[in-house]
Amino acid sequence: MTDATIAEGLAERIQSVTFDSLTDDALHWAKVAVLDTVGCTLAGANEECAQIIGRVATYGTAGGDCLVFGTNRRVGPLEAALINGTAAHALDYDDCSNTLGGHPSAPVVPALFALAEMHKSSGKQFLAAYVAGWEAETRIARGVNFHHYEKGWHPTATIGVFGSAAGCSHLLGLSVLQTARALALAATFSSGIKANFGTMTKPLHVGHAARNGMLAALLAADGLTAVPGAFEHKQGFLNVFNGAGNYNAAAILADWADPWDVVFPGVAIKQYPCCGSTHPAIDAMLLLVRDNNLTPEAVERIDSWTHPRRLAHTNRPNPQSELDAKFSVQYCLARCLVDRCVSIEHFEGDSYRDPAVQDVLRRVHAAPHPDMKMDTVEHFGAEVTVTLKSGATLTQKVHRPLGRGPENPLPDDLLEAKFANCAARAMSVNQVPVLLQQLRTLETAETLAPMSELMERSAR
């Protein structure tokens, strides 16, 4: 289309994706991301936010065919996308994308899983749709970040809704016109502000995006119309969300699949169940603790310097809840010193009030790194200095945390250990390896039914 709108241009590219068009690397990383997201969703299923959404979303409804992860309940596809999407992000443990400036899989996988259950889609169809969703959302992100991120929008939700809409449109086999309409509808559904970070509303953003992306595709499939120029219109997504002069529309349609964004910059898998912006400092602190056998009694002061873009929402010296603690770089570093690790249990209940951690917390100081500039995509470094009571100082720098992209991948044994730990929180431990193998060989699955039924049967 020579005069195609952005939505139409994206729709053409989305519907051009086939399983056979995926490179080996694209397939590998798609399967890694899906595996990790399923584990995170199972782990988040019993979190209070997912439980609340599960009750409210199904109020007055009479069940359905789609699994609520971590339970033996089945609901309609829209409800499943909302509940499971919230659970996927409940622990802030799900994968990240440098391009998106957020979490690419959590808005997409839960929506696709529910829709694939309804339509008995194969593993190959699921994976192709997943990659189409990832590529669509990250291409839009290229056009709006990082102004979009810094302005206060939550890209996992505001842009992730397009990933869900694109993936669902692909799985449904919509036409280019229908897919463009789904994207335009998703622009209307886009929402999520960073002011709500550190509360249950943040994971709700993601469930909302998963559900709304699916809803956009279903409505477009049934003939609902939307303006073709929803992105570039003077009152469209780009101008309303970013403002004139603060986006690059041409970047959205450039270089599709050259390379696949899921390959480069690629998938970032989290080691720790807290905000990814804290992770480089955690890596640096754990190296100091383990290499020098540090104890709280020996430490006088801890100084953490991170990118100002990342510190903006993680400078929380006195977290007031377990969710708030997930966004406190000070709390995370205190945990490193006290426990020599950062785990799911450190963000449950009143764990943030642990007296030993509170004692260390007063010694942790965070500031923006003076050498890390705003005009760069390399914003995941950190430097930590520990001053000992003896007067000696120890310093560790980390350019990028382990797992942050294919150049520094999380080793398979750590990936599988994370999955096992997550999945075992919601299903029988002896069935976890079976589910792991099903996900490892997802492209061979005729349908997702065996996987869904396994999770349902073994729900704790």
Q: Domain ranges in the chain?
A: 6-266, 276-398
- Beta strand residue intervals within 280-381, DSSP E: 299-306, 364-368
Q: Regarding the domain delimited by 276-398, which CATH topology (the fold level of the hierarchy) does it fall under?
A: 60s Ribosomal Protein L30; Chain: A; (3.30.1330)
The pairing of strands 382-388 and 393-398 is antiparallel
**Residues 6-266, CATH architecture:** Orthogonal Bundle (1.10)
- Beta-bridge mates of residue 97: 102
Q: Using N-to-C axis directions, what is the helix angle for 176-189 and 6-16, rounded to 10°? A: 120
Segment-wise mean pLDDT, segments of 10 residues, the chain, 460 residues: 85 98 98 98 96 93 92 97 98 94 97 98 98 98 95 97 98 98 98 94 98 98 97 98 98 96 95 92 97 97 91 93 94 98 93 97 93 63 96 94 85 94 96 98 98 96
For residue 325 the two structure tokens come to 């603690």
- Domains 6-266 and 276-398 alike in fold: no
183, 10 in Cβ contact below 8 A?
Answer: yes
CA distance 270 to 327: 14
CA distance 47 to 91: 8
> What pLDDT does 1 receive?
41
pTM given for the model: 0.90
Residues in the chain, total: 460
CA distance 131 to 257: 10
Instruction: Provide the residue type at 301 as one letter.
Output: R
Helices (H), 340-378: 355-361
Neighbours of 250 (CB within 10 A): 10
Instruction: Provide the residue type at 234 as one letter.
Output: K
63: left (phi over 0), alpha (psi -120 to 50) or beta: left
Strand-by-strand arrangement of the 393-398 sheet:
364-368, 299-306, 382-388, 393-398
CA distance 68 to 106: 15
CA distance 212 to 217: 9
